[in-house]
Amino acid sequence: MLRFKDYAYGNKQKRFMPNILELRDLSRTYKLGDEVLNALDHVSLTVEKGQFIAIIGPSGSGKSTLANIIGGLDKPNNGTVQIDGQDLSKVRDNKLSTYRNQHIGFVFQSFNLQPHNTALENVMLPLVFSKLKRSERKKRAKECLEAVGLGERLNHKPDQLSGGQRQRVAIARALANNPSIIIADEPTGNLDSAKGAEIMDLLKSLSKQGITLIVITHDMNVAKQAQRVLEMRDGKLTERRG
Amino acid sequence: MRFSDYILISLQNIWRQKLRSALTIFAVVIGATSVTIMLALVTGAKGFFTSQFEANGVLQQVVVSPKADITNYDEAQHGGGGNCDSCVKLTDIVANKIEALPHATGLARVLTSGSVEAIKLGDKKLTVNQVKGYDTNGVITRTMVAGRDLDGNDKTGVITVSSDYADKLGFKSNYGSLVGKKVDLITRNWYTGIGADIPKPQMQPGANNEPNNKSTVLSATVVGVSDSNSDSQVVRAPLDWVHGMNMNQMWQPDEAYNQAAQEKCQRRTPGPCNVEQKLVLVSQDMVERNGYDSFVVKADATSNTAGLVTEIKKLGVGAADAQSYIQSQIQIFNIVGLVLGGIGGIALLVAAIGVINTMVMAILERTREIGVMRACGAKRSTVRALFTFEASLLGFLGGIVGIAVGYGLTRIANVFINKQLASNSFQVHNIIALPLWLIVTVIAATTVIGFFAGLYPASRAARLNPVDALRYE
Ligand SMILES: Nc1ncnc2c1ncn2[C@@H]1O[C@H](COP(=O)(O)OP(=O)(O)OP(=O)(O)O)[C@@H](O)[C@H]1O
Ligand SMILES: [Mg+2]
């Protein structure tokens, strides 16, 4: 978990909130035959702890690529990713995995629940890779499911749940290990607007509790709820509203 | 992740694809069963034959026979008698030479006699095939169920009998009472050995000489009852006594005396002179003529018997150890075992391919799930361990079921073999056993096969890029 002495101070003049995330000159390229594709082109970004930011942009602009790098699923070709004072672009896979486990919660557009496991088992998954005792895992997973309003659906399998409920399970799973950042890549993309609004309310309530929230979306209605909106275009990131 | 997590997750995944897992495990079961039966059969047979020999320290012995071209122990033991072209007489000189060889710690000369026809106690009379005599110096020992084995102080007049005889003489489950009893050994007719009463022929013309066609009764004290074994119509006695039984005693004219008497007579009365011929009882030592039947040599260690055989053979006599005899006896089991083992080996190879196939399929199906696990913090090594564990578990389960099936089949096989052994009056049964080491070995082997079969699919799973895995449709 975060320790105060590790906090980096950004924008000292304005506020005294520590920066949880500092991206500097990030580049991520894909080689496709002879062509080189710049999925991320010198991206820099600073996010304060507890902020809720939205990243918008057209399809293929590099939003998911950025989210994956922040989440430690991918590594940049160039630049640094400072999270909690630690440079992720240098660490090895083992440490990156532990980082994902301890600091990041992912929420995906297509929910990505384990289809054969119950809601409870799905939420327990990140806890399995932590050092928690089995009884504590269960207790914690229950708490998380209750927090997203699914206390009555512990033993339902994903195909016995509605889309909105599935995304709640996914959010509960993201919450399980008390993450400092939740990265949601199009969390409402597969839901109708009413269910999408409910999911956004849930995510916002988490942000209010101090979790840093990064939401990627096509939907301006979603984006406008964020404290900051950034736009991705051809791998370049610009601040739209801060 | 805890070890119990690996078990739980792997079992869940195996259970998820019931049919496919069952078929994969089935292939392992076939291999494991064949290998189990092979090992059980070969070790059972080896154990059986070895136990038949081990009891009397026979494994440490080398049998020497006069036949130079002897190849196996059994032949060497029974190929006695010095009347063949390539035979070398087993004399005391040969015995001394053998005893002087390195690794030879003792030697017993063996002599059998066929001159005893029956053993008699009270009104019970039983057939005897042979009396076996040997140096009672501890090289040849018997397991006694009552009384004592023959020892160095015994010369004549004592025997040991097998428990079979004791049973038939009416001492079943009461062998102790037979010990110390005097029994009669009844010889065949024309017996000329020690203790024989051979009538002196009448040399006068016209004398009616009774032929020696009557048997002699030799009195013997039973000092011990030995554990029964297959050659039951044998009575054991000290070498000296059997040596004596094999003597050939006969009346012969005393040539020197008769010659002198003749001359003396002729000097006194010219013309034909009819002197009474003097006869003496001479005894011909048949051992001196034919040598011993065989020698039993004790080596200092079981592992040195083969070398000792080679050394003894250099003296021109035949020699064999029990080891090679056991080997030849279990040859048939080895062949059956080899065939089963071959089938088992091929089945296990096919099973390994099955496990690889199953795991590759599972990884394709679960690519997205692997991505999710990685996103939730699973390390590459965790993913690798998980899939290797799952493959090992398939092998392990196959091994367990294979042992169970193998156990059932060996039980059935034992029923038939027991019948066969009983009809050959062996007092052993259930010779095909599944010792713990065999069970552990088979299960460990199938688990290891599963482990190795899982390595490649698991490393594929571990190498998956999490971002790609999460996008996989
Ligand atoms: N594994 C890959 N190999 C090659 N090119 C890739 C790969 N992954 C992404 N790209 C390319 O990188 C660019 C950025 O992709 P990314 O998935 O980040 O876009 P996105 O902004 O999330 O789009 P969308 O809104 O459709 O999800 C795209 O042009 C894509 O084709
Ligand atoms: Mg995307």
CA Rg, chain B, in Å? Answer: 36
Check whether residue B346 and residue B443 sit in a common domain: yes
> Which of B223, B245, B267 lies at the terminal end of a domain, its last residue?
B245
* Chain centre to alpha carbon of residue B74: 10
In the 3-class helix/strand/coil scheme, how is B296-343 assigned residue by residue? EEEECCHHHHHHHHHHHHCCCCEEEEHHHHHHHHCHHHHHHHHHHHHH
CA Rg, chain A, in Å? Answer: 18
ipTM for the predicted complex comes to 0.91
A1-58 confidence digits (pLDDT tens): 444 444 444 444 445 568 899 999 999 999 988 899 999 999 999 999 999 999 999 9
A67 CA distance to ligand 2 middle (Å) = 9
Q: Are B110 and B132 in contact (CB under 8 A)?
A: yes
Distance between CA A223 and CA A188 in Å, rounded? Answer: 11
Check whether residue B20 and residue B144 sit in a common domain: no
Check whether residue B266 and residue B347 sit in a common domain: no
Asked whether the predicted pLDDT for residue B424 surpasses 70, the reply is no
Check whether residue B240 and residue B256 sit in a common domain: no
Q: Could you tell me the residue range of the domain that residue B358 belongs to?
A: 3-54+328-471
What pLDDT does residue A11 have?
A: 43
8-state DSSP, B233: S
Q: Is residue B307 part of a domain?
A: no
Q: Is residue B86 part of a domain?
A: no
Q: Do A101 and B377 touch (CB under 8 A)?
A: yes
Among A30, A70, A231, the mutation site with the greatest number of ligand 1 atoms within 8 A of its Cβ is A30
Distance between CA B11 and CA B24 in Å, rounded? Answer: 14
Check whether residue B259 and residue B178 sit in a common domain: no
Q: Is residue B166 part of a domain?
A: yes
Q: Count how many domains chain B has.
A: 3
B112-166 confidence digits (pLDDT tens): 998 899 999 988 999 998 899 999 988 888 888 889 999 988 888 999 998 888 8
Q: In the structure, what pLDDT confidence band is assigned to residue B392 with cuts at 50, 70 and 90?
A: very high
Cα A237 to Cα A57, A63, A87, B351: the distances in Å are 9, 9, 20, 54
Q: In the structure, what pLDDT confidence band is assigned to residue A167 with cuts at 50, 70 and 90?
A: very high
Q: Is the CB of A58 under 6 A from ligand 1?
A: no
Q: Which ligand is nearest to the CA of A232?
A: 1
Q: Are B349 and B395 in contact (CB under 8 A)?
A: no
What pLDDT does residue B454 have?
A: 96
Q: Is the CB of A217 under 6 A from ligand 1?
A: no
Chain A residue with the nearest C-alpha to that of B5: A128
A contact test, residue of B18, B376, B380 with most A CBs within 10 A: B376
Measured between its terminal Cα atoms, the distance across chain B in Å is 27
Q: Which two tokens stand for residue B108?
A: 């017993």
What pLDDT does residue B286 have?
A: 86
The shares of helix, strand and coil residues in chain A, as percent rounded to the nearest 5, are 35, 30, 35
B191-218 confidence digits (pLDDT tens): 888 888 888 777 666 666 666 678 899 9
Residue showing tokens 């297959």: B230
Asked whether the predicted pLDDT for residue B80 surpasses 70, the reply is no
Check whether residue B333 and residue B450 sit in a common domain: yes
Check whether residue B148 and residue B256 sit in a common domain: no
Check whether residue B258 and residue B371 sit in a common domain: no
Distance between CA B47 and CA B431 in Å, rounded? Answer: 8
What pLDDT does residue B376 have?
A: 96
Q: Is the dihedral of CA B224, B228, B230, B232 positive or negative?
A: positive
Closest-CA distance, A181 to chain B, in angstroms, reads 13
B contact test, residue of A30, A70, A73 with most B CBs within 10 A: A73
Determine the 3-state secondary structure of A100 from DSSP: helix
Who contacts B266 (Cβ-Cβ below 8 Å, separation ≥6)?
B273
B224-257 confidence digits (pLDDT tens): 998 776 566 889 999 999 999 998 888 888 888 8
Average pLDDT (B455-471) is 95
Q: Which two tokens stand for residue B388?
A: 């290797």
Q: Is residue B145 part of a domain?
A: yes
Q: Is residue B130 part of a domain?
A: yes
Check whether residue B257 and residue B348 sit in a common domain: no
Say whether residue A129 is in contact with chain B using an 8 A CB cutoff: yes
What number of helices (H) and strands (E) belong to chain A? 7, 11
Q: Is the CB of A180 under 6 A from ligand 1?
A: no
Asked whether the predicted pLDDT for residue A210 surpasses 70, the reply is yes
Q: Do B377 and A97 touch (CB under 8 A)?
A: yes
Check whether residue B332 and residue B452 sit in a common domain: yes
Q: Is the CB of A62 under 6 A from ligand 1?
A: yes
Q: Do A100 and B373 touch (CB under 8 A)?
A: no
Index of the ligand 1 atom closest to the CA of residue A66: 18
Cα A46 to Cα A17, A238, B203, B292: the distances in Å are 12, 12, 141, 106
Residue from B93, B92, B134 nearest B113 by CA: B134
Protein residue with its CA nearest to atom 26 in ligand 1? A59
Q: Are A107 and A71 in contact (CB under 8 A)?
A: no
